[in-house]
Amino acid sequence: MPFDTRIALFALVAGVMFNAAAGADDSLRCGSRLVHTGDGKDKVRALCGEPTSVSFAGVVRQAGYGYGPYDYSYFGPSWIDVPVEWWTYNLGSNKLLRKLRFIGDELVEIRTEGYGY
């Protein structure tokens, strides 16, 4: 096999392996169902059940729109403080802990921690 072909084949295999590893952290398997980043809290709770623990991690400012207190008059862009929460799922002592970060109602990050308890 020529040297250029081997390099191209190696790059292709490395790219496929990197994509497979990167895709593993944007989803969580709950039984036979999958939860992905971008899903809402209700969907995660319905598919995976109640988390082992929930911790409040502060707020993030996001752009929103200001409305009057008594009517729907528009005052223009404003900033809204959105809560950030970490949900922990303990899947048992022979499986890894999964930590899910929510900003507002949206799942934005899934982390794998050490073994559960």
Q: What is the pLDDT of residues 61-96, one digit of tens each?
A: 877 665 556 666 656 667 788 899 999 999 888 989
Q: Contact at 8 Å (CB) between 51 and 116?
A: no
Short-list 61, 66, 100, 53, CA closest to 82: 61
The reported pTM is: 0.67
**Overall number of domains in the chain:** 1
Give the residue carrying structure tokens 């109640």.
50
Name the residue with tokens 């403080």.
81
Domain with 23, as residue range(s), is 3-115
What tokens does 57 get?
A: 């991690």
Residue reference for tokens 């409305």: 67
Percent of the chain with pLDDT over 90: 43
